[in-house]
Amino acid sequence: MTELPDIDFENSFAAQMEGFFVPWEGAKAPKPEVLRLNHELADELGLDPELLKGEGGARLLTGAAAPDSAVPLAMVYAGHQFGGFSPQLGDGRALLLGELVGPDKERRDLHLKGSGRTPFSRGGDGKAVLGPVLREYLMGEAMHALGIPTTRALAAATTGEKVLRDTGPEEGAVLARVAASHLRVGTFQFFAARGETAKVRQLADYAITRHYPELAQSEMPYLDLFRRVSKRQADLVAKWMNVGFVHGVMNTDNTTISGETIDYGPCAFIDSYSPKAVFSSIDAHGRYAYANQPAIMQWNLSRFAETLVDLVNPDDSDDAIAKLTEVLNQFPALYEEAWLDGMRGKLGLFEPQAEDIDLTTGLLTSAEGQNVDFTGLFRALAQMVRGDESPARALFDDPAAFDIWAELYKKRLAAEPVAAQERAEAMERVNPIYIPRNHLVEDALDAARQGDMGPFDRLLGVLSAPFSEQPGAEAFAAPAPESFGRYTTYCGT
């Protein structure tokens, strides 16, 4: 049998966090094959792409086998899912193989999604199928190219078996993904709900060491941990909102301590601007709608705060709650600052002014209900700065509201002594031309299911350079045709 790639895993979580996981092995894939490998990420991790693409690499990347240096395990966690608490979730179809420390000295988890049933599968088969695996690969790489903290795909591998789903048998697949860690708010919730304060403290200490080592000298490290996680999540959600991303399943088990985006199941990017945009088939009441994401993140962080009360002040819970609440109440301001800073960049505003919040919200208000392409609008504003406002104006069904806003915008620009070309180029560096348009994502996944990876590769290539105009890629910048209809996404379980 072909030898596995010689990968030197480190295993700080396995070594230090006994009781937070179950040692486990992946299912034996009958005919594993690496369908797509992220060469750029492999190089960044110090891994040999050629070895990973071979038979031994396919066995490793599907979980069918693990090198001696790995300690495969299924992590345990809990979580609020659509507002309801599930006291035990965990890696029901995933394994943490171990940690990689690349040439950049950064520590990252290598995690397999779809590697088979675990003790946390809750009746599921623990498998994944090709479409959702390729969706997560595509979305993670698109987000990375947009400069948004995210888990990333190292590889998409097929298992050589058929997996039964509601639509019939589908091709089995495994996503090998990389993250700063897979610690979640739900990890803390699991132990806090059981009253295991010592384990919550152990987990917090591990999170500080791994993600916020500067807090080791803090007088109140656990309060400062909450402060840092809150800031990272405020920045993250602001970045989502700035590009029109809807996560779709913002459960506490999908809220990371590192501040990375995780889990690309029922996610999508908005085409026409709508605060109420929802794409998930299971979000019937719009809990995780586009405009609700900042408030939901604050709600998730309040659940995190609850787990830290006994750590912040073991002798006085009222004092601890007051301190945590003070930090939590700062979240809206942190989010607004990060969001507005991003929007200033999108609008080409160099010098912050008090009226910028009204100017920005005024643009969005003018676009609501007008079938305005969100991504195209901000890109067109750079043309307006150069003197041609017709492309932006043409995006509106009724441009009257835009015309009123445009006059305010021109006055705001005139208050800053910045050359038009300089401003427009700065805007184009932060306003993408290309996002994962929902109809193109579905076309690429449908083709892949039929054995044609060409559309997937082409879309992935375009999305790797979202801010630069690419000859022949005009269709990738266009919104969906009317015939595409209302878009609905699914969890992929």
Cα 362 from Cα 356, distance rounded (Å): 10
Among candidate residues 373, 391, 371, the one with its CA nearest the CA of residue 382: 391
Q: Which amino acid is at 479?
A: P
DSSP state of 180: S
What residues have CB less than 8 Å from 170, skipping those under 6 apart?
129, 130, 131, 162, 163, 164, 449
DSSP 247-264: -S---GGG-BSS--B---
Among candidate residues 40, 69, 261, 27, the one with its CA nearest the CA of residue 154: 40
Q: Which of 253, 271, 310, 373 is catalytic?
A: 253
Among candidate residues 295, 300, 268, the one with its CA nearest the CA of residue 281: 268
Annotated catalytic residue 356: no
Cα 138 from Cα 229, distance rounded (Å): 26
Among candidate residues 22, 180, 140, the one with its CA nearest the CA of residue 88: 22
Cα 204 from Cα 73, distance rounded (Å): 20
Q: Which amino acid is at 420?
A: A
Torsional sign, CA 347, 349, 352, 358:
negative
Give, for 81, the enclosing helix (H) or strand (E): strand 79-81
**How many residues can be counted in the chain?**
493
Strands (E), 328-384: none
Catalytic residues: 253
